[in-house]
Structure 1
């Protein structure tokens, strides 16, 4: 089997491995007491969705709820019902108001749901109040996305980043009842030290918080160490003057499919949200043969949890360090403009807002032509492609070639024989097209990086002397 065939089937093997383990509904063995929610794993089986529409149009609010349903299904749950309420702002106590919370409890009872998922990030008090009213587990959009990331993380760095994000989310939400609030005995009181040796000690929740903070500090150190290898590789590419292109975009917009189409990388492709968590860097060439690197990155989503942006910052550096961003948009999505706005918001958080960008309108084979035309008018630098069929790929590559920075220049120099090291550097870093050995030195015509061209200016041969 050839190396390319190995790459081509690698994504299929990854996909088969991911599908080999699926949650089976109705087999949960967790405690029925909802007050133990902090100390059991996140359970997603039969869910009811609830959202608050505070701004934008009704269509935008409904699109957000549909996306929440896709997120829930990606996490392995069965969506039974979805409720949306129009309010000026979310209720500070129950998110949807006490009356609507009672209605939600009736829906949960009627459908037999065991989990409520809110379309937003809830405060700890809102979570607890809704759980008390509805008598089932309540999670928010942030916890749902973190759970999906935890299921899909495969590399050591990806797992560490997800765990760090989960701990950052969990820390302010720890709470307990009964025995969980009891204090651990302080000092050496248990050893019979007596009067003056006993203290209140730590509560169970304080002990948990301390352990979480210790674990978070360890994870940050590990991620910092692991990010060094990626920085080393980036430095090596920069020293060779290889331009870098990052593929960014909304989750499930087709970024991995585009990478496979452009490079034959064979990375995992799945019609699911957040299929890619670990960045993939592959070599590609422009139509004229100029090499560059293509990096596939984690997808973004509306209201991407801040904890994830922070935890994945080292991974997202692939975008921040790029010379060009291919911003992939799902042309068949009901609201592609909202996707673009959400992605650009995250790009600004990782200092990538000023990097040159090409809007790649993907899935042209199934998208509405009117929607594609609207996007083309709104965004000047764009390409309409289908990663599935290959349509528009040649036009995209031509745009990429034109947008890449000119990192080399043709020089015509005469180097004295004493400058043999410079001749060697030209051969290593440049592309030599002509070499002539003369009495007074070596005459070269070559394309070299700009930094090296500056060093060679004093040896340049005048064009009239050729």
Structure 2
């Protein structure tokens, strides 16, 4: 039974610079706030070409915001941009409210959702790098609480002591950044070892990528249901932005005995903080090292083109270039369209529909198994272990028996084709 969560009432604010994506970015900000256990009670928008360097909003709008905060009894304001330290301080001073900019909000969500040790370290590193340039002497007590340090009795008694406290906080953050970086390097070494073991198995890898809440985990679970070795290994699905941050990898075995690894990566969002993109590079390396990417898109969302561009820009930022991609236009069941419907490398589908998943599987096979060899082998009866291996690990088309051994026609990958070439009878 889920525990009742108390929602924090907030006001969201944003600057409309006459961009076509502004309305969607505000909708997304409100969804992010809800994902962080907040309740948006009011949204305030101002049209400006650029933010006020001191207070983000103009003077009159700041006064209106202050009155809204008083009228709604709210003490938290969420801003649709990344603010400078001085902007945060000035808005706090005017409204007597806690200010969370878009970057800080996403960092909070990630911090609350991280489960694995690696994800927790990655989020902590991003938060520390975000905090470092935002240090100021008047915030020493708050920072002490966040970093677990103690400011001492005389921290704010005079200007010199305040500057000393600032230096102490800065050094504390820098030392922690160094320590977390070192821990992440050790974690990365362990992950590389696992990846090398997977690579040695010569199993192709497929990575699901895309916008958060596009349905990647639902696609993953659908594929596990059809081809997984253990249905208990399903991944969490929740209708919420950033429901999961940890990369899940599952081995799938198709009816013709072809096998591949499928990974479900962390979702993207517009204006994903640079600190997070950098911190999650190791997690997203599943995508960088994949033989095939499946970009899962919420086909029912009118902003899907923007979501696809965000995904592709983020992939480019982490160095994922030149990897073949299938575009899975998911959630077609929410629309009045025929599915599954394929055009080239694009598939209109629903992750809830078995036929869609089977068509997606066909497209995956075309991409990652195109170099398989159809070979006919003559295996002496004394090498029964080879026959057993082929029966368990390859797609057997025909099996015949002769006086000198077993004749098997099968589809083999490059490794097995080379391994068993001494048994080759004919090549087709």
TM-score tier, shorter chain, comes to 0.7 to 0.9
- Partners in 1 of 2:409 and 2:61 — Cα distance? 77
Please point out which of 137, 146, 151 is paired with 1:176.
137
The Cα of 1:323 is off from its aligned counterpart by 0.9
The Cα of 1:391 is off from its aligned counterpart by 5.1
The Cα of 1:98 is off from its aligned counterpart by 2.2
Please point out which of 336, 340, 360 is paired with 1:396.
360
- Partners in 2 of 1:200 and 1:336 — Cα distance? 53
Any idea what SS the aligned residue of 2:118 has? Answer: helix
The Cα of 1:358 is off from its aligned counterpart by 1.1
TM-score by length of 2: 0.82
CA deviation digits over 1:175-217, x for unaligned, max 9?
Answer: 132987xxxxxxxxxxxxxxxxxx9897111111111111111
Closer, same or farther in 2 for the Cα pair 1:53/1:158, shift >3 Å?
A: same
The Cα of 1:109 is off from its aligned counterpart by 1.6
The Cα of 1:455 is off from its aligned counterpart by 7.9
Structure 1: which 5+ runs fail to align? 1-15, 26-44, 181-198
TM-score by length of 1: 0.75
**1:358 corresponds to 2:326:** yes
Aligned residue in 2 for 1:106: 67
Any idea what SS the aligned residue of 2:332 has? Answer: coil
**1:68 corresponds to 2:32:** no
Aligned residue in 2 for 1:214: 175
Aligned residue in 2 for 1:204: 165
**1:266 corresponds to 2:234:** yes
Aligned residue in 2 for 1:333: 301
Equivalences for residues 214-293 of structure 1 within 5 A: 214-264=175-225, 265-286=233-254, 288-293=256-261
- Partners in 2 of 1:178 and 1:393 — Cα distance? 52
Aligned residue in 2 for 1:409: 373
Closer, same or farther in 2 for the Cα pair 1:150/1:445, shift >3 Å?
A: same
Aligned residue in 2 for 1:309: 277
Closer, same or farther in 2 for the Cα pair 1:217/1:249, shift >3 Å?
A: same
Contact 1:323 1:405 in 2 (8 A): no
Aligned residue in 2 for 1:187: none
Equivalences for residues 365-444 of structure 1 within 5 A: 365-367=333-335, 369=337, 380-390=344-354, 392-411=356-375, 431=394
Any idea what SS the aligned residue of 1:50 has? Answer: strand
The Cα of 1:258 is off from its aligned counterpart by 1.1
Query: Number of residues paired by the alignment?
Result: 398
Closer, same or farther in 2 for the Cα pair 1:415/1:133, shift >3 Å?
A: same
Any idea what SS the aligned residue of 1:73 has? Answer: helix
Contact 1:244 1:294 in 2 (8 A): yes
Aligned residue in 2 for 1:141: 102
Contact 2:258 2:394 in 1 (8 A): no
CA deviation digits over 1:39-76, x for unaligned, max 9?
Answer: xxxxxx2211111122422xx31111111111111111
Equivalences for residues 43-82 of structure 1 within 5 A: 45-57=8-20, 60-82=21-43
- Partners in 1 of 2:268 and 2:425 — Cα distance? 52
CA deviation digits over 1:402-437, x for unaligned, max 9?
Answer: 122435434567999xxx9xx89x979975967999
Closer, same or farther in 2 for the Cα pair 1:412/1:395, shift >3 Å?
A: closer
- Partners in 2 of 1:205 and 1:368 — Cα distance? 59
Please point out which of 75, 79, 88 is paired with 2:49.
88
- Partners in 2 of 1:139 and 1:179 — Cα distance? 18
Contact 1:429 1:449 in 2 (8 A): no
